[in-house]
Amino acid sequence: MNNKSLINKKPFIAKSIFMTHVRRIGWIRTALGGGLMYISFFEFVFIHLTTIIFLYTFMLQPFFKLKKFRLRDYMILDRSKINGMRIFDKFNCDFCGYANGTACIWNHQLDQIAAADIKKANIIKKLIAMLYSICLIIFLFFNFIFSKILFFIIASFLGFHWAETAKIASRLKETDYAGQYSFPFRGIIRFAKLYAESLALNLEQIESGWCPLKHIENGTNVPSAHHKLFFDRDKITEAIETLEKEGSVSDRKPRY
């Protein structure tokens, strides 16, 4: 192969990152842990369609005048536009942006609900709030169990750290999160926030170890907090070298 062919050949980012983890923890752990991440796609689609679209945007926001959120500000699908990426690289980057954007916007919506007082309303609005509570309980029961089991398996292979849910719950209580609500609505909102925060922490480990490239700042997008630790989009080589040495750009390094 001549030099011109080497220069024009597209990089295979997903393969390069995959192989850095193979050299660090072996084929089996990397293949099983990395492959299982794609199953979580169904979880994020469910969160997107239920809590973000139906329960917040269609049910609560119009009746209680809560803040409107634009999905495109959170679900930032721009890394797949980096020159030279292969189709599988583009898919991975968009999946990462979609998943983290879903977790980020859900956390912000819950903060809006916690800061409001949607129960101080007429009978119709109170019924809407009750319906919201019932739907959210059903969603949390099934999806939280699925999420915990899936991440437990992924974490076992890749050495990720569990989100410290007890500390999150304690902080929500100490800060009186959703404190203006009475039981059981206060407990429902706090449990939803616990789930949303732990999901975001899990995603921070995944994205920091597999796709640590920055989004384009345009003044309206809202990237996840851990985005500030990522490499610029033209520093792919440096990012991969860091992953090979440390396994992640996160402060929470993998345990093996």
Predicted pLDDT of residue 10: 59
Q: At residue 211, what are phi and psi to the nearest 5 degrees?
A: -150, 55
Residue 8: pLDDT over 60: no
Mean pLDDT, residues 83-111 taken together: 93
- The tens digit of pLDDT for each residue in 222-236 reads 999 899 999 998 898
Q: Residue 184, preceding bond cis, omega within 30 degrees?
A: yes
Residue indicated by tokens 């929500």: 172
Residue 4: pLDDT over 50: no
Residue indicated by tokens 């999806």: 143
Predicted pLDDT of residue 11: 64
Predicted pLDDT of residue 2: 40
Measuring CA to CA, how many Å separate 120 from each of 64, 133, 180, 253?
10, 15, 10, 45
Predicted pLDDT of residue 119: 67
- The tens digit of pLDDT for each residue in 166-207 reads 999 999 999 999 998 988 999 999 999 999 999 999 999 999
| Segments making up each domain of the chain, as ranges | 11-246
- The tens digit of pLDDT for each residue in 121-172 reads 688 888 888 999 999 999 998 899 999 999 999 999 999 999 999 999 999 9
By the 8 A CB rule, do 178 and 112 touch? no
Mean pLDDT, residues 61-74 taken together: 92
Residues pairing with 213 in the sheet: 231
Residue 212: pLDDT over 50: yes
Cα three-residue angle 251-195-30, rounded to 5 degrees? 50
Residue 6: pLDDT over 50: no
By the 8 A CB rule, do 225 and 250 touch? no
Residues pairing with 231 in the sheet: 213
Structure tokens at 46: 């469910």
Mean pLDDT, residues 17-46 taken together: 94
Predicted pLDDT of residue 218: 86
